[in-house]
A and B are shown apart, each in its own frame.
Chain A
């Protein structure tokens, strides 16, 4: 399973990322320890502007913390009851209107400043018009997996989102139109943008424009049922050429469908004779179900089970045998296939590239 995280780390563990954090040097490093999901390592616009705002607010609250804690400690030391003191009760002071006014007005001014800064980021993220050139993806949250539909390119995939890197000179941001097929989920890839909920019967739109190719991780951030913890997110930011090649492969009929290899053809037959087709789609075949992930190019994915399991033939076979063994709460039932059928279907799945 190590490959899942290593590739993501490879994308972030560069000197540049460290350099970016020099102002907070040691503390930043100690806190992060190279996390691939740190909100303090932004790599796309919304995450960047949020990071800037965070630092501003941290600086203000940090100052308030230092001042008030200092006063508190000073008061505790200076005004402690001393053994030798026998002079009775201290002077009773009941209040002072001037002082009360001061510590009402000053915080109010600080609040106004923080509010205006925050409002700027809100408007810059949520209230800007959509540019002419974008990549549009429809995201559908399902209990414990993600469906990605590319309407302009005309294909559907699941669990691994591929988007093109956006060149700052010719920006090509990705716009996600998100909705849910069942309960509320939340789309959160910390290094790209803040989270946004994926709500049934309600469309939310988010965007980001990462410039560096790499793998960005995240996961569902709204409790959505038994296996909420394993509803992981993988966003592959590809170079424009890689992305174009990937789109081309996704639009093509997978080799497993047309293969003449008898083992693969047998797997296809088993797949289509069983209930698999009620829930899954393999384009170019009779399998047209929409309840489960689109399997057209499942063989080319790095992971199965929404990023939770590395995509190897052994894992795939175990998954088909009984999904709940590997991911408790998965809605796919154990299909009770015999060993021969299991091998055949696994072969077919692996060939769907």
Chain B
């Protein structure tokens, strides 16, 4: 092995003094790391906005017959909360991490198409701004306060001009079209990066699991965004040129929209959750001090989840009257997803088994993820049985179930990923003490909110109602749910404070603070613009393990 250290002889860039120079630097950047960070900051901003919306929603529902907000405002709140969280928090934050990490982990110097990368970020960014501009422009500049109010899945014909006059629905459609294009471009970019930019020796079977899962998730985005785009175009044609796709008065079909939306919408859930799996796949082994158990099984499970997820959309439609045949088929296809998902959970358990588990903040979040994802999977099985879904569908049970996935699994993994990779991106560790506070507040808040949210669903409380009568047995549960939301809000504040505090005061991280094994930890923290001074070459899935244990390299076993 050659032992030469590569020395960076590039001239240090001149210090920048004006804030405008910094802004210029970021706005015009095509560096995958900067774009990744911009994605993440942008999503955090929207996370806070949509989180505040959730707080108002919970406040309104804490007691029966409440009048904090009007029904019109409430309907806008849940529509914007859902749309924002899915399209302007979930997707961009995950693609942000992907942007930052994938090139580093496969030993590339940038994405395959850096300028396209910047283009897609700015498309997505403007999409979000366009959506929120509806608060000003939804009814022309004079009729302020008319954001979309059709729900995030916007069932036709409620979205047709007759039932949704004004322009609020158009803002919704256009902003999703715009971000959709950005997402497709990023997906193509990430996939091509992984196909054509891997460093020497990194065959597909040696690629770490994070890039692998991003590969699967990008492919899923590629085939799922198309149907959404097509449906949005049809809706726009209906609203603007008077076509009749979803116009039931002219023979159009309301059910067709529901099909199109969920052909996108169900894979979308997996687009969001795969990156969360990806983070867990990197963090759990490092903090258990063991290689991931069953790498080929993990890859196979992810690929099969992607394939099966393209054939389960109608489980969102068990109550729409598809008939017994379709209901039976989609019950089966949905239940089968439990198998590859179970394989993943068991493999993570087996990775912990026999390890030496270190309970640092990133690991704490991933362990909570493991438990919560188990519960989410089990309630998912309940909902997959069509008859059970006839009762539970569109009730608060469903809300609790998918928030268990989106918050309990995805957001927890994202928090874990922050604690894990912040030192790489910033060069300083995040405060561990604040991290523990953040974790425990979040766990308490999460379980107060979403454990107890299942109950009103069982007691017959449908989603999207702005208020309810006393005497249905819902009020105590909604009260507890509301209190939990406050805990989560405080936890998030602690987290944001930690991000800011650690930026200036965190302990200096060094190259490899976690004693980890993948390529990103070989370069300095933060990495230079070109990532690697010498193009790395690898001989196994854990190149740093090989380096640290030359007597027993992984390449002997793979």
Interface residues in B, total, Cβ within 8 A: 96
Of all chain B residues, which has the CB nearest A40? B458
Q: Which residues of chain B come closer than 8 Å to A202, judged between CB atoms?
A: 253-255, 321
A15-51 near B? 1/0 per residue, CB < 8 Å = 0000000000000000111111111100000110110
> Which A residues touch B254, using CB under 8 A?
183-184, 199-202
Give Cα A117–Cα B557 distance, bound, in whole angstroms: 44
Instruction: Please measure, in the bound complex, the distance between the C-alpha atom of A92 and the C-alpha atom of B517, giving whole angstroms.
Output: 13
For the complex formed, measure the closest distance between the CB of A112 and the CB atoms of chain B, giving whole angstroms: 9
Contacting chain A: which of B88-96, B105-113, B284-292?
A: B284-292
Interface 1/0s, chain A 69-88, versus B by CB < 8 A?
A: 10110011001111001000
CB–CB B251/A53 < 8 A: no
Return chain A residues, CB-CB under 8 Å to B458: 31, 38-40
- Cβ 8 A contact of B467, one of A57, A111, A200, A229: A229
Verify B471–A197 contact, CB threshold 8 A.
Answer: no
Alpha-carbon distance between A100 and B339 when the two chains are bound, in angstroms: 11
Number of A-B contacts (CB under 8 A): 289
> What residues of chain A lie closer than 8 Å to B370, measured between beta carbons?
72
Stretch from A217-225, A236-244, A339-347 forming part of the interface with B: A217-225
CB within 8 Å for A93 and B290 given contacts A57-B388, A121-B387, A221-B462: yes
Name which of B271-279, B347-355, B430-438 contacts chain A. B347-355
**B241-262, CB < 8 A from A:** 248, 251, 253-255
Q: Which of B294, B328, B390 contacts A195 (CB 8 A)?
A: B390
- B323 pairs with A126, CB closer than 8 A: yes
A58 within 8 A of B: yes
Taking A90-B356, A201-B254 as contacts, is the C-beta distance between A54 and B460 under 8 angstroms? no
CA distance A123 to B329 in the complex (A): 12
Which of the 9-residue segments B67-75, B127-135, B440-448 touches chain A? B67-75
Given known contacts A36-B472, A79-B352, A122-B328, A183 and B155 CB-to-CB distance under 8 angstroms:
yes
Q: Closest residue of chain A to B345, judged by CB? A: A68
Tell me whether A184 and B155 are in contact (CB under 8 A): yes
Interface core residue of B155, B355, B359 (most chain A CB under 10 Å): B355
Contact residues in B for A195 (Cβ distance below 8 Å)? 319, 390-391, 393-394
> CB-CB < 8 A to B320: which residues of A?
184, 197, 199, 204
Could you say which residues of chain A place their CB within 8 Å of the CB of B390?
A: 46, 50, 193-196
Within 8 A of B (CB), among A164-192: 182-184, 186, 188, 190
CA–CA, A92 and B551, complex, Å: 14
Inter-chain contacts of A40 with B (CB < 8 A): 458
- Known: A114-B385, A228-B464, A328-B70. Is A5-B471 also a contact (CB below 8 A)? yes
Q: How large is the interface on A (under 10, 10 to 19, 20 to 34, 35 or more residues)?
A: 35 or more
Q: Does B19 contact A (CB under 8 A)?
A: no
Interface string of B145-177 (1 = CB under 8 A from A): 000010100010110000100000000000000
Query: Given the known A-B contacts A93-B293, A204-B321, A328-B72, are A219 and B352 also in contact in the complex, defined by CB atoms under 8 Å?
Result: no
Chain B residues within an 8 Å CB radius of A69: 371, 374
What is the chain A residue whose CB lies nearest that of B464? A223
Report if B118 contacts A (CB, 8 A).
no
CB distance from A42 to the nearest CB of B (A): 9
- Check A118–B386 contact: CB distance below 8 A: yes
B321 near A197: Cβ-Cβ < 8 Å: yes
B297 near A100: Cβ-Cβ < 8 Å? yes
Q: Which 10 A-B pairs have the closest CB atoms?
A: A194-B390, A37-B460, A35-B473, A229-B465, A5-B471, A204-B321, A95-B294, A118-B385, A126-B324, A200-B248
Given A80-B356, A204-B320, A328-B71, 14 extra CB contacts under 8 A: A5-B471, A72-B349, A72-B370, A76-B367, A82-B356, A90-B355, A94-B293, A99-B350, A118-B387, A182-B163, A190-B391, A195-B319, A195-B394, A197-B320
State the B residues within 8 Å of A (CB).
70-72, 75, 149, 151, 155, 157-158, 163, 248, 251, 253-255, 288-291, 293-297, 319-321, 323-324, 327-328, 331-332, 335-336, 338-339, 342-343, 345-347, 349-350, 352-359, 367, 370-371, 374-375, 378-379, 381-382, 384-395, 455, 458-474, 476, 549, 554, 557-558
